[in-house]
Structure 1
Amino acid sequence: MIKYAIFDLDDTLLDFKKGEREGLTKILRKYGVHDIDQGIKTYLRVNKVVWNKIEQGQPREELLHKRFTDTFNLLGMNIDGTLAEREYRTGLDQNFYKIGGAERLLANLKNAGVHLMVGTNGIKQTQISRLKGSNLDQYFEDFFISEDIGYTKPDKRFFTPIQHKYLDMDEKNTVMIGDRIQADVLGAKRAALSSIWFNPNHSINSEDYQPTYIAQTYDQIEKIILN
């Protein structure tokens, strides 16, 4: 049985996409965007580039505070992107949507004696607020967030404080669970830990590395960890 399970949050346990769309819709409407779908598509393209740069080690806050400026520029508008970013984060703090079955999975694993912890690249205030609001915080004994650590997954240094605190961690007794193969799976591989790629949409792995396990459902994750 796995002793330590490190969980990503967004789109692994929390339904980030649902809250993201709600938050973006409010921001776009406030600033006068009429084609909301086009606005969201534009933001998502910009945001993907931003997070790729962050995961490569580029300055986090500088990039995040530019993403709305860049989005609205592409939409032919000039706004205060830093203000829009603050407004958007305030909305995200109230995004308490859980993926169906997430709480049952965590409860079962905790009751079985697995040590559960969070390992996320998300913004600290937002992630802590969402964990508490969704009542999932009660299942975790530790929270590791890139904003505190100073490194983001897939950098293996993200895992250094985790491995320093839990000295017996290794690839046999520890698993990283997440939906992003480029961050969660690669990060675990670099840190010499096992990984479960949570892949409910049956996406194709186009990378040249493989997760230790693949799971499409929470039942499969539970079986892998408790086996």
Structure 2
Amino acid sequence: MKYEIILFDVDDTLFDFSMSQKNALHNTFVAFGIPTGLADYEAKYKEISKVLWGDLEQGLTTLSALGVERFRRLFLESKLEIDADKFSSAYLENLGRQAYLMQGAVEICGNLAGCRLAVITNGYANVQRSRIGSSPLHNTFEQLIISEEAGFQKPDTRIFDYAFSKLKITDKEKVLIVGDSLTSDIQGGINYGIDTCWYNPLRKENDTGIKPTYEIYKLNDILNIIE
């Protein structure tokens, strides 16, 4: 077996974050008395959030600041008089209840039973632990490496140091990271000197210059790499 330890990203790799985000946003807007909020503001929210998550990867902001700032900017631009702190807390609580899996996630984790599996994710610990814990994958992973707890986020090599310490890994050649983000998962793996697998189900063009070791379109294709 070429790889013995698989580090999985969570959002848009094993879990359908788009669906989770959509439902959490809708439920939060409804709770704040804006039933059409998702339809009215989702596009602008996603645009703002994407910028801030990019800033986080570059170390230009913190996770706690990001959580509130995305809604502060949204409400300011949309002229909504809503407390961004309270909205953010309610949104994260709603997000923690969303556990939609990507197609093939349960199957691939079952088929990789001979490997050591762990999660390495940028995100909020309570949210990610709640989502994984309420899913069919709740007993799947040896460790949940979450950036809020590690103190660093992908692609920073220090979150990989943290992961390797937790998992007691000594041989980088036995480790593969699987994720959907070129700038976070793949660049992080490259920075740390481990092999990378870009999960690209929508067959997006890679115009970044970041070169993964492997590219797959279905999760089960990982078996062809492992074997």
- TM normalised by structure 2 equals 0.93
Count, aligned residues? 223
Q: 1-side partners of 2:37 and 2:153: how far apart?
A: 34
Q: 2-side partners of 1:36 and 1:219: how far apart?
A: 33
| Aligned: 1:133 with 2:143 | no
Q: 1-side partners of 2:44 and 2:163: how far apart?
A: 36
Which residue of the partner structure matches residue 23 of structure 2?
Answer: 22
Residues 60/35 of structure 1: CA separation in 2 closer, same or farther (3 Å cut)? closer
Instruction: Please say which of residues 114-123 and 18-27 is displaced more in the overlay.
Output: 18-27
State, as a whole percentage, how many aligned pairs show the same letter.
30
* Equivalent residue in structure 1 for 2:72, among 40, 52, 69: 69
Which residue of the partner structure matches residue 53 of structure 2?
Answer: 51
Preserved contact between residue 5 and residue 176 of structure 1 (Cα < 8 Å): yes
- 1:158-177 paired onto structure 2 within 5 Å: 158-164=159-165, 165-170=167-172, 172-177=173-178
Preserved contact between residue 8 and residue 177 of structure 1 (Cα < 8 Å): yes
Indicate the SS of the match to 1:205.
Answer: coil
Q: 1-side partners of 2:126 and 2:34: how far apart?
A: 28
Q: 1-side partners of 2:36 and 2:136: how far apart?
A: 36
Preserved contact between residue 4 and residue 169 of structure 1 (Cα < 8 Å): no
Unaligned runs of 5+ in 1: none
Which residue of the partner structure matches residue 205 of structure 2?
Answer: 204
Deviations 1:127-182 (A, max 9, x none): 00111101212111111110111110011111002223433231x31100001111
Q: 2-side partners of 1:139 and 1:63: how far apart?
A: 29
Shift of 1:124: 0.4
| Aligned: 1:82 with 2:85 | yes
Which residue of the partner structure matches residue 193 of structure 2?
Answer: 192
Residues 163/36 of structure 1: CA separation in 2 closer, same or farther (3 Å cut)? closer
CA RMSD of aligned residues (A): 1.4
Indicate the SS of the match to 1:139.
Answer: coil
Q: 1-side partners of 2:199 and 2:141: how far apart?
A: 19
Preserved contact between residue 96 and residue 134 of structure 1 (Cα < 8 Å): yes
Shift of 1:223: 1.6
Which residue of the partner structure matches residue 4 of structure 1?
Answer: 5
Which residue of the partner structure matches residue 96 of structure 1?
Answer: 99
Q: 2-side partners of 1:18 and 1:100: how far apart?
A: 13
| Aligned: 1:41 with 2:43 | yes
Which residue of the partner structure matches residue 225 of structure 2?
Answer: 224
- TM normalised by structure 1 equals 0.93
Indicate the SS of the match to 2:215.
Answer: strand
Shift of 1:189: 0.3
Indicate the SS of the match to 1:203.
Answer: coil
Q: 2-side partners of 1:132 and 1:73: how far apart?
A: 35
Q: 2-side partners of 1:61 and 1:76: how far apart?
A: 23
Preserved contact between residue 63 and residue 123 of structure 2 (Cα < 8 Å): no
Partner amino acid for 1:196?
Answer: C
Unaligned runs of 5+ in 2: none
Detail structure 1 runs of 4+ shifted over 4 Å in the superposition. Answer: none
Q: 1-side partners of 2:214 and 2:12: how far apart?
A: 17
Preserved contact between residue 95 and residue 127 of structure 2 (Cα < 8 Å): yes
